Chains A and B, each alone.
Chain A
Amino acid sequence: MTDGSVDNNFVGIQNYQKVWENEVFRLGLRNSLELSLICAPLIFVLSFVLALMLRSLGRASLPFRNILLMPYLVPTAALLIVWMLIFDYGGPINRILALFGVDRVLWLESEYLRVPVVLLYVWKNVGFSIVIFSAALESVPDELYEFARLEGASAYKMATKITLPLILPTAFLVFVLAWVNAFKIFKEVYFIGGAYPNESVYTLQHFMNNKFSKLDYQDVTTAAYSFAVIVLVLFGVLYAQKGVRGHD
């Protein structure tokens, strides 16, 4: 609540007013929420389905699990270099598109940047979620599935009526982790698009980073506090759901 100068003069809630009135702050917040709402469900669903598939393979699932976990272990910068080559104007994706007569796309400089960013994020983080789900699936008794099969239940019914309810706290954990981590999508976009990427992927962290570079520490902290409050509220709402907290 100070003006950020050497004298640190008190200014009340002026900083909050200034930040919230800034169109670009709202754009960054909106993009951060959108990206998280795209990435988190994608990771959740994909990791759940893959974990179920791996469970069905039994012991033979180990090498596949390791392969799926590998991107999580590789440094992001290394992955980004590869991604940038793949989605470059002259990269393989555009060449494939050209083969089908489609115009090349500037994946890294246009609004389509969301696609490689989301794909990279999901690919990198799905492995970790699979590991968590796999551990939770071990706790579901096999007899339940046997009974359900005998009753004629489909795989989908078993997954949604048996598996998911029993591992709901873990599923909540996976979703929250995926969601919170998705909020933090920044370094991937910054590496590709710099401090001012396309509008579609300009996140709240860009706003904070750019303000920091201009020594506007007040705007940075204001934005950070605002964001923290939003995340806490959303988390609180989710956690308030009885089922999420676990069965008595």
Chain B
Amino acid sequence: MVANKKLIALLMALTMLTANISFAEETFQKKQYKLPDDIVETAYMSNIVYINDTFYVLVDMKEIYSLKKGEEVFSFYAKDTNDIGVDYSKQISNLYTDGEKLYAFCSQSGDFFEVNEKDGEVVRNNLVKFNLENHTETYEDGSGKERSYSRVPNDSVLYNGKLYAIYQNMNNFGTSLSSFDIATGEETTYSVTNIKALAPYKDGKLILVTQDEEKLYNSDKPEEGIAKLLLFDPAADTAEEIGPMLADDGEPKYFYGSMFYDENRDAVLYFTDNGLMLRHEDASAEKCAHFPSSFLSGNSSGYTVLPGNYIALIIQNTVYVESTDPSSMPKKSLVVYNGYSSNHDYVAKQMLDTQITMYEGGWFSSAQELGQALVSGTNNIDVFALSGNYMDTNSIINKGYALDLSAAKGVSEFVDSLYPYIKDACVKDGKIYALPVYLYHHTYSQNDMLLEELNISSPKTFGDVCDILSAWYSDDERAAENNLTEDPNVKYFMWDMLFNLYANHVYLSGEEMRFDTSVFRSMADKLIKALENVPDISDSEMQYDEEYYQKPTLFGMQSLDLYQMSNEAESRRRIELLKNHPAFAEDESYKSRDSYAYPFNPMVLKATETSPEGFSAELTLVFVNSKTHDPENALKYIENFIHGYQDETKISLCKDYAEPKLNQYYEKGMESQKAHIDALKKEIEEAEGAEKTELEKDLARAEVGYQLDLEGLGKYQYTQEGIEEYKSYINNVYISTYDNSLFSRQEQILTLRQRLIEGQMDLDSFIKEADSKLKLIKLENQ
């Protein structure tokens, strides 16, 4: 019996010990957690805290979602239903925890409270109002009404019963540190300045990073502007310097991002673009975590530190739980040059077993520099993206610096789906060496509504535009109230148009690249004559004429815009309604609205009546370095790359892709407008006199806008009709390359153009000198 009791006691002790061990370790694993499917695309996740085995995240600044241990997807926790329809001062800006309770802070109203939940709504318990007087400014809104605004802290942490916040100084560089007692709301300010980051340490003290940016950038001694690590005692308002925050490699660096203190390792960890660094005592650092895509945590709200060397952080509406143990970082790596694109972000999230980082060796300004780097092997670039406009990408392919991508899964099929002129840029001798990243169409644009209002026919050729220019200044009133071109320097705009349209003519006609042709001479003669009536404007007048940009404009250089084309009819209807509706009788703000004021409609011009139709497009291509250290993984990058295109990009790249897209924010926008209207109505009930009258006008305008949106304006991001119109323009496109854009990019030609435009050179001299250069370039390449 005694032995049995002893055995039972031993077993119980063992059980408790085991339980204690597993509780203490609380193991996490690398995992991703998302919001529910119905909101994941449109929601904005901004804050995360971890309390008692549960994650809480702030969504759209008014809803809280939670994820308990063992769950896979976040679920709705509570919604904040306080009055935030018109006045957003009560909107939650941050969530905090002291390890036991969940707190929230409204940075505008100063409300700080314990968050509880009842019937799916946030209950604000133990609310304390912080005194934000020192951080509040007043200003006049558009209607002349005085409003106040409280600055949002750069960063804030809840520690030891106080909310510590870094505030930006408005009048100069630098920041200041304040704390607010969460029991009384009382503010304490501290003497320490230029704080970049803060984190709890122990015994009530804080770790701070300070950096004097003024000294770093604007003084003769930038070394005095290095980032420093300090141990700060709020009780005594004293700071003790620990050392430089970053290792000194001879050049003071700007510190950005957030940091925190890890008591177990007695070390500071700080964020870089795509990882976490563990700082050693001598300020050197080693990478201890890798994050997919570029992630820069500007403040503490986007992540939360977890037990057992883990961290949870928000990256584009997904919570990533990552280990901060250096040994658990991905073993494989790829370095990408100039890889900023949605495709790259997509790949980074798919290839979590690989550290995909951006090349940090600087920018290559020419193919020469890049080629040298690739040839010499002094860099470690695996994948690089280049624009054909600025780099001779053909030589990259011809010299064998680009890896053959044909073996990558799905790439052949994808390349076959591209427009032929794009495919040609990617393929050589039947092999695929590049993929498109994005395309930018070099088109001109016009303001259809303004053309109709001014009774001007839509131009089809360069000559038509010159005719419009010739007559434009004969009507002083028209010229005073409207702009002919979006560039105040009409002369430069027109000459630039001439050269671009002539380049299109030459390339699409298959003619030799030269200026001594009847087409160029006639275009130039026509323009010179048309410019006789254009007033000369000095540079300073152009630069400081703010009113210029507030007037409706006839011609511009906007690229093809799918959204505009899809919503053109609805936008017109809106403008017509606004022009005639009594609610907008005193409001001419519609004149500065996009569709009315700016030239957004496509204008595809030809050099002459008989010139071929079409225009150039700038194409950025992605390549894999043929000398990559990991070809297999680099090809995997490419396989994932082709799945990361945004829908709009696919429409411009793929000949048969034509899927319309609903505006995913439409419903949210409507809800927000409805809430705004309801809030206005409530305000009107309480208002009197002139204020009431103004509010009633606001309400009338808001209701008109709401009705228009209810009828469909903005419902589609782009429609089928819009896509069809868009695609009708992009069949006659040629890719602008280093060689065929000499008219508009070659430096010496540009210098001659400048001389011609400024009258220092006559047309014959220009043609002679420019053609001589073009001949040199052509012969040199033979």
The interface of chain A, by Cβ under 8 A from chain B, is: 4-7, 22-24, 27, 89-90, 104, 106, 109-110, 193-199, 202, 207, 210-217
Alpha-carbon separation in the docked complex, A207 to B773 (Å): 13
Q: B396, B746, B780: which contacts A22 (Cβ < 8 A)?
A: B780
Decide yes or no: A215 and B399 within 8 Å by CB, A22-B782, A194-B747, A197-B748 being known contacts: yes
Is residue B626 contacting chain A, with contact meaning CB distance below 8 A?
yes
Return chain B residues, CB-CB under 8 Å to A196: 746, 748, 773, 776-777
26 contacts between A and B (CB under 8 A): A5-B400, A6-B401, A6-B626, A22-B779, A24-B776, A24-B780, A27-B776, A89-B760, A104-B760, A109-B751, A194-B747, A194-B751, A196-B746, A197-B748, A199-B772, A199-B776, A213-B367, A213-B368, A214-B367, A214-B368, A214-B392, A214-B395, A215-B367, A215-B371, A215-B392, A215-B401
Closest to A202 in B: B776
- Residues of chain A contacted by B400 (CB below 8 angstroms): 5-7
Tell me the complex Cα distance, A97–B375, Å.
51
Tell me which residues from 321 to 366 in chain B have a Cβ below 8 Å from any Cβ of chain A.
Answer: 366
* CB within 8 Å of A: which B744-782 residues: 746-748, 751-752, 755, 760-761, 765, 769, 772-773, 776-777, 779-782
The 7 closest A-B pairs by CB, nearest first: A6-B400, A213-B368, A215-B371, A5-B400, A24-B780, A89-B760, A24-B779
B676 at the binding interface (Cβ < 8 Å) = no
Q: Which residues of A contact B781 (CB under 8 A)?
A: 214
**Closest A residue to B747 using CB positions:** A194
**B627 on interface, CB distance cutoff 8 Å:** yes
Residue interface bits B476-519, CB-to-A below 8 A is 1, else 0? 00000000000000000000000000000000000000000000
In the bound complex, how far is the Cα of B782 from the Cα of A24, in angstroms?
9
Please report the C-alpha to C-alpha distance between residue A6 and residue B623 in the assembled complex, in whole angstroms: 15
Having A109-B752, A198-B772, A214-B781, one finds 16 other A-B pairs with CB under 8 Å, namely: A5-B399, A5-B400, A6-B399, A6-B626, A6-B627, A24-B779, A24-B780, A90-B760, A109-B755, A109-B769, A110-B769, A194-B751, A196-B777, A212-B368, A213-B367, A215-B368
Using Cβ atoms and an 8 Å threshold, which residues of chain A touch B401? 6, 215
Q: Which residues of A contact B366 (CB under 8 A)?
A: 213
- Bound-state CA distance A106–B764 (Å) is 13
Q: Which residues of A contact B627 (CB under 8 A)?
A: 6
Q: Are B755 and A4 in contact (CB under 8 A)?
A: no
Known A-B contacts A106-B755, A207-B780; A198 and B769 likewise in contact (beta carbons under 8 Å): yes
**Shortest beta-carbon distance, A145 to chain B, in Å?**
52
Q: Inside 8 A of B769's CB, which chain A residues have their CB?
A: 106, 109-110, 198
Counting contact residues on chain B (CB < 8 A from A), the size range is 20 to 34
Contact A106 B765 (CB under 8 A): yes
> In the assembly, what is the distance between CA of A42 and CA of B755, in Å?
32
* Residues A106 and B761 in contact, CB atoms below 8 Å apart: yes
A112–chain B nearest beta-carbon distance, Å: 11
Q: Which residues of B contact A213 (CB under 8 A)?
A: 366-368
* A199 and B771 alpha carbons, distance in the complex (Å): 11
**Residues of A contacting B395 with CB < 8 Å?**
214-216
B residues near A210, Cβ cutoff 8 Å: 780
- Nearest CB of chain B from residue A135's CB, rounded to whole Å: 42
**What CA separation (Å) do A163 and B506 show in the bound complex?**
64
Expressed in whole angstroms, the Cα–Cα distance for A210 and B395 within the complex equals 13
Kindly state the separation between the CA atoms of A213 and B392 in the bound complex, as whole angstroms: 9
- B interface residues, Cβ below 8 angstroms from A: 366-368, 371, 375, 392, 395-396, 398-401, 626-627, 746-748, 751-752, 755, 760-761, 765, 769, 772-773, 776-777, 779-782
Shortest distance between the CB of A194 and any CB in chain B (Å): 5
Interface centre among B399, B400, B748, B760 (most CB of A within 10 A): B399
Q: Within the assembled complex, what's the spacing in Å between the Cα atoms of A214 and B627?
A: 19
Asked, given contacts A22-B779, A196-B773, A214-B367, whether A4 binds B399 with beta carbons under 8 Å apart, the answer is: yes
The chain B residue with its CB closest to the CB of A210 is B780
Q: Which residues of B contact A199 (CB under 8 A)?
A: 772, 776
What is the CB-to-nearest-CB distance from B431 to chain A, in angstroms, rounded to a whole number?
14
Residues of the B chain whose Cβ atoms lie less than 8 Å from the Cβ of A109: 751-752, 755, 761, 769
Residues in A whose Cβ lies below 8 Å from that of B752: 109
**Chain B residue with Cβ nearest A109:** B769
On chain A, the residues within 8 Å of B398 by CB distance are 5
Kindly list chain B residues whose C-beta atoms are within 8 Å of the C-beta of A217.
375
Q: Chain B's nearest CB lies how many Å from the CB of A215? A: 4
Give A104 to B748 CA distance when docked, in angstroms: 20
Q: Measured between alpha carbons, how far is A37 from B588 in the docked complex, in Å?
A: 73
**What's the least CB distance linking A221 to chain B, in Å?**
13
A213 to B372, CA, bound (A): 9
* A91 nearest CB across to chain B (Å): 11
Question: Which A residues are in CB contact (< 8 Å) with B772?
Answer: 198-199
A216 CB to nearest B CB, Å = 8
Closest-CB distance, A79 to chain B (whole angstroms): 20
> Given contacts A194-B747, A194-B748, A214-B395, are A23 and B367 in contact (CB under 8 A)?
no
A110 touches B765 (CB 8 A): yes
Chain A residue nearest to B401 in the complex (CB): A6
Residues of B within 8 A of A4 (CB): 399
Closest to A6 in B: B400
A196–B780 Cα distance when bound, in Å, is 10
Q: State A199–B777 Cα separation when bound (angstroms).
A: 11
A89 touches B755 (CB 8 A): yes
The CA-CA distance from A22 to B367 in the complex, in Å, is 23
* Chain B: minimal CB distance from A226 (Å): 16
**Residue in chain B with minimal CB distance to A215:** B371
Evaluate contact between A23 and B755: CB separation under 8 angstroms.
no
Contact B760 A106, beta carbon cutoff 8 Å: yes
Most buried by B among A24, A89, A110: A24
Within the complex, the shortest CB–CB distance from B625 to chain A, in Å, comes to 10
Nearest chain A CB to B371's CB is how many angstroms away? 4
CB atoms of B748 and A193 under 8 A apart:
yes
Min distance, Cβ B774 to any Cβ of chain A, angstroms: 9
CA distance A5 to B371 in the complex (A): 11
Contact A195 B760 (CB under 8 A): no
Q: How far is the CB of A89 from chain B (nearest CB, A)?
A: 4
In the bound complex, residues from chain A placing their C-beta under 8 Å from that of B371 are: 215
When distances are taken between beta carbons in the complex, the residues of chain B under 8 Å from A211 are 780
Expressed in whole angstroms, the minimum distance between the Cβ of A103 and any Cβ of chain B is 10
A138 to chain B, nearest CB (A): 47
Chain B contacts for A110, CB-based, 8 A: 765, 769
Contact of B779 among A5, A23, A195, A197 (CB under 8 A): A23
CA distance A90 to B760 in the complex (A): 9
**Distance from B780 Cβ to chain A, minimum over Cβ atoms (Å):** 4
Q: What's the least CB distance linking B737 to chain A, in Å?
A: 13
Tell me the complex Cα distance, A196–B747, Å: 9
What CA separation (Å) do A109 and B750 show in the bound complex?
A: 12
For the complex, what is the distance from the CA of A90 to the CA of B782, rounded to whole Å? Answer: 38
B296: shortest Cβ distance to chain A, in Å?
Answer: 35
**Smallest CB separation, B364 vs chain A (Å):** 12
